């Protein structure tokens, strides 16, 4: 049943992306920059020189992804961009469906959330990264988005899962240095120039997200705390990650409904179509209507759960220093 469910979701995601791309030939998904960077590597080019505004692979902003992310999707650089989107979205959606059904199908409302639909439409990494949280063998995809990767590491349930994530990421980073030794300098320069990366903790009410630390033994509490601290691009797709905190059908349905509330609130408020104004509103509503309700879900549970020994030692050290 899990395999059938995963295949159905994966095929549906691929067909949706294909139909949307054919109907909107001028549309550029968020995955296009990764595809362009992967194609550049395969052609012996520096992706940070050829992906961006007015460059060989046009994109509205500089390339914000680290080189290891491009290595992960390098084979897709051999395909036309629409075919690459279809494969990436289909695999990501299918893997997520397989992963989240490991403990049953109670959390299926995730797949009707605006977060999931947006992640599919934009071919974002969120679906694949949530799948990697639930399937430790895929943990190495954390390196594709280091800010989210930190949150993925924080929610690790075992030292083995953490080791797979760190070892896989290290191998990809080492390979990227062999291909382009200077990539960290160019990547960091692009990231530092971005005006829209901001921590949810700095938004109104964001400090309340730290209440999740009262349940630090729970993986979902550590995940939400890390997401609150790490700078993020405001958007709907990363809300997918928070569904790892849901345990029941009712919780998943509630969170799915709240993502729709955020989306339609943005539509009806009709903010100025500038990245800063739109992003600020999305960021505030995310804290208020997605993250804080998730904190309430977490606080209703006991402070019990799987904690890697390394994380337990780190937390004990921080606590001891705080007392002194």
Per residue, the 3-state secondary structure of 4-54, as one string, reads: HHHHHHHHHHHHHHHHHHHHCCCCCCCHHHHHHHHHHHHCCCCHHHHEECC
Using the 8-state DSSP alphabet, how is residue 198 labeled? B
Q: pLDDT > 90: what percent of the chain?
A: 80
Kindly state the tokens that stand for 164: 């797979």
pLDDT over 90 at 272, yes or no:
no
pLDDT over 60 at 232, yes or no:
yes
DSSP E strands: which ranges in the chain? 51-52, 57-58
Nearest to 24 by CA among 112, 119, 122, 90: 122
- Please tell me whether the overall predicted TM-score, pTM, comes out greater than 0.85 for this model: yes
pLDDT over 90 at 296, yes or no:
yes
* pLDDT value of position 261: 94
- Three-state SS at 106: coil
CA–CA separation, 31 and 200 (whole Å): 24
pLDDT digits (tens, 9 = 90+) for 62-113: 999 999 999 999 999 999 999 999 999 999 999 999 999 998 999 999 999 9
Q: Is the dihedral of CA 94, 100, 106, 112 positive or negative?
A: negative
Q: pLDDT > 70: what percent of the chain?
A: 96
Q: Are 224 and 209 in contact (CB under 8 A)?
A: yes
CA–CA separation, 179 and 42 (whole Å): 10
pLDDT over 80 at 11, yes or no:
yes
Nearest to 115 by CA among 299, 301, 245: 245
CA–CA separation, 285 and 263 (whole Å): 9
Task: Please give the average per-residue pLDDT across 302-306, as a whole number.
Answer: 90
CB proximity list for 182: less than 8 A, separation 6 or greater? none
Task: Please give the average per-residue pLDDT across 135-155, as a whole number.
Answer: 94
């Amino acid at each position: 049943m899990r395999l059938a469910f995963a295949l159905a979701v994966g095929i549906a995601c691929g067909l949706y992306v294909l139909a949307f791309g054919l109907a909107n030939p001028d549309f550029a998904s968020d995955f296009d920059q990764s595809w362009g960077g992967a194609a550049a590597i395969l052609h012996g080019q520096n992706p940070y020189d050829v992906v961006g505004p007015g460059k060989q692979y046009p994109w509205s902003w500089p390339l914000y992804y680290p080189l290891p992310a491009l290595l992960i999707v390098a084979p897709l650089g051999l395909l036309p961009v629409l075919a690459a989107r279809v494969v990436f979205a289909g695999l990501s959606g299918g893997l997520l469906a397989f992963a989240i059904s490991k403990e049953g199908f109670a959390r299926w409302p995730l797949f009707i959330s605006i977060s999931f639909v947006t992640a599919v439409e934009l071919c974002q990494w969120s679906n694949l990264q949530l799948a990697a949280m639930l399937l430790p063998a895929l943990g190495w995809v954390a390196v594709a988005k280091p800010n989210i990767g930190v949150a993925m590491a924080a929610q690790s349930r075992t030292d083995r899962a953490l080791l797979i994530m760190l070892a896989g990421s290290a191998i990809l980073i080492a390979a990227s240095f062999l291909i382009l030794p200077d990539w960290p300098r160019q990547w960091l320069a692009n990231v530092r120039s971005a005006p829209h990366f901001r921590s949810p903790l700095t938004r109104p009410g964001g400090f309340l997200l730290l209440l999740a630390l009262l349940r630090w033994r729970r993986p979902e509490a550590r995940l939400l705390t890390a997401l609150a601290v790490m700078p993020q691009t405001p958007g709907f797709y990363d809300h997918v990650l928070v569904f790892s905190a849901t345990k029941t059908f009712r919780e998943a349905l509630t969170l799915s409904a709240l993502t729709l509330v955020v989306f339609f609130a943005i539509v009806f408020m009709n903010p100025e179509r500038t990245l800063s104004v739109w992003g600020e509103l999305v960021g505030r509503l995310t804290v208020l209507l997605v993250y804080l309700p998730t904190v309430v879900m977490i606080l209703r549970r006991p402070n019990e759960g799987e904690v890697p020994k390394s994380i337990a030692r780190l937390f004990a050290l921080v606590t001891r220093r705080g007392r002194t």
